[in-house]
Structure 1
């Protein structure tokens, strides 16, 4: 069937005075600037659109921005003869002002993720989006009655189901890596949680419980994207989890999500941004009066200081973390904070000392971190990597190779991009010793365990 030419697009291209090649170049450049790198459109692409082919997202939204800037007036997809269903490129990056806007945004994000929309998969980490989200979390007033007026009554069983699914998927994630389970999580969010938020009937009290449950699972989905090193997507999920936590009025959960955002920023090599996020997390954690959570936020601030190379500030934050952790009361903590124990705190200390080049202290803390819950397989791989790095800093090559071999073995069992990155880092640290027989033997024995 012959396509109908897109005369509206041809007309506005002429009005704007763009060549086909020039328009394609602007499109690719703007896509990169908006967090969608890798667009490779050319003059032939523009000719096909003029001929009636419908471009995929994010092209319509990018084109409206390009033409609006050139012509000095608003331009819509309809003005370009393109469908009005185009998903905005910034979907999920905004911490919305109202509960209703937040529900619309997060459910659209889940749907786009299930559909594996390219602009999400290709999106990049945006410091500005995280900063604005943190500011709005701090400054936004409580939501006015998060309510639903739909036809489906939401009850305790619905909320309990979300919590149980979150717990089960979290355990699988820790044991096997996010690659094995993330697709199931987002399908559950889209098929089970979205109808409750959009079509459910619930008052304020139930609405807050529903928002908190949805925030926990959305946070987990974001953490899984982070583990797969899909950083732009992970950031969008964490911002939307933070927005749901605002609907719940849950300062503790908000602090935990901000701490997760700081964790990701450190991993991304953005310690100054992580510092801001960790301090924002502390503000909320103090309101929650949960000492373990306060300790978590302080130790992330310490890790950010270590990333900057500020050993004195790092030491001060580590001290504050210890003081808070010593006041903990396990009986008075939310279930989602159960991972943060002595071993986890030691691992965070080891990260700081490794980044500051303090081998002896890294080894001491990394050894303590291995006294951990055996269900956290991925965490054990990370902690063995820390021990290996510290031993290498101390010149203990033989013991380092023993720890590295175990780390490589665990990494080979996980579907986790972060685990592969830790393994890559170990191989780089072993590179100066590549001619040593023990290192040659290690590489030979583990070469098929982790594909680097």
Structure 2
């Protein structure tokens, strides 16, 4: 079918006095300045648009900004024949009922994220969406077989590639922070994983492995958004990761995702919501049979109790988490669960005792947490912050400054909003002692490194 030429665009280009090459160059430059690198449009691209081709978002919005700057008046995409394509504002917040709906939703979410759609960037955390997702995960029957009837045959190598990419991006995230790698993860989901899910040909067995692999990488993208404190976006990704895990019938992965949702809720100061999510994660962990997952979910319940000031319930949950961890069979558990070792568990214990004001035990467990894998740079920064905070609670300010100095040095190497929040939290804890020379020197070090 022949396209109708876009005469409105042609007229506006003439009014603005742009050449096709000049307009394309301004578009690429503006994209880079708006955090959308990699635009490679040229005069031929502009010619195709004049001929009626519709470019993908965010090109129409960028063009509108360019024209508005040149002409000195508001310009909307509708003014040059590129009306905005709207996405539902709740995109990604719903745990859909069927596999087909789930694929459509998650691929649309990836596409909107790549395009940096404003409603996603500005989205806020919605407790109701997380709670509804957890309930559907626990209660929904299988929503259609995960099969595809597209033109491209999906095989084992496609799934293996997703797992390998997830592993590589996860290592980079732990070493450098999410700010350095998240955009690449989302682009890979949109350009490599989306065509497999949406346009691939796969039977139910392959579909389950594909769904599980896509769920792992979607969870990672959500965790990265959380690390950047983009909480509404992170929640949407975690809900969609949970939906993919449902398609895979993977209770272990579902438990891990629910634990991640509980982790985020605790961080956001929503301990009651975290309590619900952690208990849902425990149910899934029991279905999976993996004791480490049960420990992970139960220690998050303990942290939620600590946030609520319930020391008795916290202690009980910590005992249950420790017992589950001692009964684990690590050799039989998924590879993606290897991060949860005794040092990680100790860090979660330290968080609980710090939040309950028990500096003595917070310090004890924080020191144990530092016997950790050196590749987890961000995690070490968090654990050093726990140690410093506990030492301040015990009144050992100079020792706390030593730990905090190392934490601040690591924070300077990371692109992580959570890391900066930990730094600010430590500064507040040291504030009553700011007149001490050791604290003054620490603050000067922080300003120079973070």
Structural mapping, 1:317-356, within 5 Å: 317-356=317-356
- What are the ranges of 5 or more consecutive residues in structure 2 without an aligned counterpart? 1-6, 10-73
User: Structure 2 CA distance, aligned partners of 1:307 and 1:360?
Assistant: 18
Alignment match, 1:426: 426
Deviation at residue 145 of structure 1 after TM alignment? 1.5
User: Structure 1 CA distance, aligned partners of 2:443 and 2:76?
Assistant: 51
Structural mapping, 1:290-369, within 5 Å: 290-369=290-369
Alignment match, 1:189: 189
Deviation at residue 144 of structure 1 after TM alignment? 2.8
Question: 1:150, 1:198 within 8 Å by CA — same for their partners in 2?
Answer: yes
SS in structure 2 opposite 1:92?
coil
Alignment match, 2:176: 176
User: Structure 1 CA distance, aligned partners of 2:114 and 2:296?
Assistant: 32
User: Structure 2 CA distance, aligned partners of 1:420 and 1:248?
Assistant: 36
Alpha-carbon spacing, 1:84–1:101, altered in 2? closer, same or farther (3 Å): farther
> 4+ residue stretches of structure 1 with deviation over 6 A?
none
Alignment match, 2:100: 100
Question: 1:241, 1:257 within 8 Å by CA — same for their partners in 2?
Answer: yes
Alignment match, 2:264: 264
Question: 2:245, 2:251 within 8 Å by CA — same for their partners in 1?
Answer: yes
User: Structure 2 CA distance, aligned partners of 1:253 and 1:437?
Assistant: 49
Alignment match, 1:161: 161
User: Structure 1 CA distance, aligned partners of 2:78 and 2:272?
Assistant: 39
SS in structure 1 opposite 2:448?
coil
User: Structure 2 CA distance, aligned partners of 1:286 and 1:267?
Assistant: 25
Alignment match, 2:225: 225
- What are the ranges of 5 or more consecutive residues in structure 1 without an aligned counterpart? 4-50, 57-80
Q: Deviations 1:26-59 (Å, cap 9, x if unpaired)? A: xxxxxxxxxxxxxxxxxxxxxxxxx994589xxx
User: Structure 2 CA distance, aligned partners of 1:409 and 1:84?
Assistant: 45
Q: Deviations 1:391-410 (Å, cap 9, x if unpaired)? A: 00000011000000000000
User: Structure 2 CA distance, aligned partners of 1:157 and 1:2?
Assistant: 47
Alignment match, 1:214: 214
Question: 1:114, 1:183 within 8 Å by CA — same for their partners in 2?
Answer: yes
RMSD of aligned alpha carbons: 1.8
Alpha-carbon spacing, 1:399–1:103, altered in 2? closer, same or farther (3 Å): same
Alignment match, 1:151: 151
Deviation at residue 82 of structure 1 after TM alignment? 10
Normalised to the residue count of structure 2, the TM-score between the two structures is 0.82
Deviation at residue 202 of structure 1 after TM alignment? 0.3
Alignment match, 1:382: 382
Deviation at residue 98 of structure 1 after TM alignment? 0.2
User: Structure 2 CA distance, aligned partners of 1:349 and 1:376?
Assistant: 18
Deviation at residue 143 of structure 1 after TM alignment? 3.2
Alignment match, 1:282: 282
Question: 1:143, 1:249 within 8 Å by CA — same for their partners in 2?
Answer: no
Structural mapping, 1:227-246, within 5 Å: 227-246=227-246
Q: Work out the number of aligned pairs and report it.
A: 380
